[in-house]
Amino acid sequence: MKKILHIISQYPGKTGSGTYLQALIFEGKKKGHIQSLVSGIHNGDIINLKNIDNFYPVTFKTKEIPFPIVGMSDIMPYESAKYCDLTEDMLNRWKEGFIKAITNAIEDLKPDIILSHHLWLSTSLVKEIAEDIKVIGICHGTDIRQLEKCPQYRKEVLNGCRKLDLILSLSEEQRQLINKVYGISNDKIIVIGGGYKGDIFFPPLNKVYDENIKIVYAGKLSYAKGVVSLLKVFKNISEKYNVKLLLVGSGTGEEERYIKELGFRLKGNINFLGELSQEDLGRIFRESDISVLPSFYEGLSLVTIEALASGLLIVVTEIPGLISNLGDIINNSGVIEYVRLPRMIQVDKPLGEELPLFEYRLQIAIEKQIEKIYRGYTIDYSIEKEVNKMSWDNIFNRIEKYF
């Protein structure tokens, strides 16, 4: 049994890194570890933390920190601020909040291990505060993207993160990128990957396909996720096939408004389901046929692994970390169609003139999966063994070895 302090600078859920955090906490509880959490929340939030022994919130939208949670992505599924927009006063208030919470948590828990999410400012702070405690940093990809977008924090982030005892990477490609961008030795970076909860994401016992094909997207309603391209492509597909599009997730601001307005304007069989619990998402997956993720940037894509575990056919952009994490057996099984990305002008912003060809490739990939179903596709249970390797139970066991 260990005493573990988990740290994440944003909301402890609602995003891929939040899902990762919650999964590690759940598995740690199963193993009997004593666990505390430091995370950001908004004033008035009520969150369920039944697997945590003690919670040390950094509360935003208060007198002390009068702005929203600062998100690792510029568009979050909840109200948020951007690191690139922080003034010196805002940054100082942000730091004071996290230093106080982390210090209190360490004094109370006296942790054996600290698991800190994102190789970014909060993780950099941790190693300054907890010099004599083993600190393991977890990279999610958005941290590398922020380092490119906000070079003003580069020196501080690198100085702190280079002191980490160990770093967990989502893929071999990300491991090499961390080595290059952060200047951290590969000996300190371990490829762990990401996973799914087998009690929530599993295939239906008897999958029955009919002519009404259900396509599901799960993620933020944002431009960077390629949702606008998906809606345009779906319009064309719906003129050829009997299809229904389910969009699970939320966004904020102008991007969410535009995406919803476009969906309503297209007048197809498009349903915005909003934010769902993991349990409800698992049910939607089992009721659906094809999972599509047209994202322009991902560290790994946990939601694709969850969809795969639920027995769906997959259409996803060529995410290097995902391709290497799934391995040859799954990649060559026919269950996945990869879509080549357009050229980018920023990490997650495509060159506009390339979008028509990208959308053509996306449409072809989705139609290939629809045709497989019409030809009598059945779930390929031969890949089940490979998928099982990515369960959170197995992933936590691998992480635990480094405690």
Please give the average per-residue pLDDT across 51-71, as a whole number: 97
Compute the distance between CA of residue 78 and CA of residue 68 in angstroms, rounded to an integer.
9
Residue 380 reports pLDDT greater than 90: no
Are 140 and 118 contacting, i.e. CB atoms less than 8 angstroms apart? yes
Q: Which two tokens stand for residue 328?
A: 């040859």
Question: What pLDDT is attached to residue 388?
Answer: 87
The percent of residues in the chain predicted with pLDDT above 90, rounded, is 83
Q: Which residues contact 199 (CB under 8 A, 6 or more apart)?
A: none
Question: What pLDDT is attached to residue 88?
Answer: 97
Question: What pLDDT is attached to residue 184?
Answer: 97
- The region of weakest confidence among 161-165, 202-206, 366-370 is 202-206
Helix, strand, coil: what percent of the chain each, to 5? 45, 20, 35
Please give the average per-residue pLDDT across 274-280, as a whole number: 94
Is 389 a domain residue?
A: no
Give yes or no: residues 121 and 28 share one domain.
Answer: yes
Neighbouring CB atoms inside 10 A of 145's CB total 19
Give yes or no: residues 186 and 253 share one domain.
Answer: no
Give yes or no: residues 182 and 243 share one domain.
Answer: no
State how far the alpha carbon of 269 is from the alpha carbons of 213, 242, 264, in Å.
11, 9, 9
Is 12 a domain residue?
A: yes
Q: Is 34 helix (H, G, I), strand (E, B) or coil?
A: strand
Give yes or no: residues 166 and 308 share one domain.
Answer: no
Domain that holds residue 140: 3-192
Mean pLDDT of the chain: 94
Compute the distance between CA of residue 133 and CA of residue 161 in angstroms, rounded to an integer.
14
Is 156 a domain residue?
A: yes
Is 207 a domain residue?
A: no
Please give the average per-residue pLDDT across 286-314, as a whole number: 94
Last residue of a domain, one of 192, 225, 259: 192
Question: What pLDDT is attached to residue 403?
Answer: 92
- Give Rg (Cα) of the chain: 21
Side-chain half-sphere of 102: how many Cα atoms within 13 Å?
Answer: 25
Question: What pLDDT is attached to residue 270?
Answer: 96
Is 400 a domain residue?
A: no
Query: Positive or negative CA dihedral for 99, 94, 140, 44?
Result: positive
Query: How many DSSP H helices and E strands does the chain contain?
Result: 14, 17
CA nearest 11: which of 156, 141, 117? 117
Give yes or no: residues 267 and 177 share one domain.
Answer: no
Is 251 a domain residue?
A: yes
Give yes or no: residues 136 and 250 share one domain.
Answer: no
Question: What pLDDT is attached to residue 47?
Answer: 83
Give yes or no: residues 283 and 375 share one domain.
Answer: yes
CA nearest 234: which of 319, 338, 242? 242
Q: Which two tokens stand for residue 7?
A: 């740290």
Give yes or no: residues 248 and 378 share one domain.
Answer: yes
- Strands, E, within 48-202: which ranges? 54-60, 70-71, 81-82, 113-117, 134-138, 166-169, 189-191
Are 6 and 24 contacting, i.e. CB atoms less than 8 angstroms apart? yes
Is 394 a domain residue?
A: no
Q: Is 96 helix (H, G, I), strand (E, B) or coil?
A: helix
Question: What pLDDT is attached to residue 336?
Answer: 96
How, if at all, do strands 344-346 and 349-350 pair? antiparallel
Residue 25 reports pLDDT greater than 90: yes
Q: Is 251 helix (H, G, I), strand (E, B) or coil?
A: coil
Residue 46 reports pLDDT greater than 80: yes
Q: What residue type is 116 in one-letter code?
A: S
Compute the distance between CA of residue 168 and CA of residue 282 in angstroms, rounded to an integer.
26
Are 118 and 139 contacting, i.e. CB atoms less than 8 angstroms apart? yes
Give yes or no: residues 180 and 236 share one domain.
Answer: no
**What are the backbone dihedrals phi and psi of residue 117, each rounded to the nearest 5 degrees, phi first?**
-90, 135
**DSSP 8-state secondary structure symbol assigned to residue 49:** -
Record the pTM.
0.85
Give yes or no: residues 161 and 40 share one domain.
Answer: yes
Residue-wise pLDDT tens digits, 88-123: 999 999 999 999 999 999 999 999 999 999 999 999
Side-chain half-sphere of 159: how many Cα atoms within 13 Å?
Answer: 6
Give yes or no: residues 145 and 55 share one domain.
Answer: yes
Query: Positive or negative CA dihedral for 297, 222, 240, 276?
Result: positive
Cα separation of the two ends of the chain: 10
Tokens 């299809």 sit on residue: 243
Tell me the angle at which helices 302-309 and 320-331 cross, rounded to the nearest 10 degrees: 20
Give yes or no: residues 120 and 79 share one domain.
Answer: yes
- Strands, E, within 113-212: which ranges? 113-117, 134-138, 166-169, 189-191
**DSSP 8-state secondary structure symbol assigned to residue 118:** S
Is 203 a domain residue?
A: no
Question: What pLDDT is attached to residue 114?
Answer: 98
- Number of domains forming the structure of the chain: 2
CATH code (residue 155): 3.40.50.2000
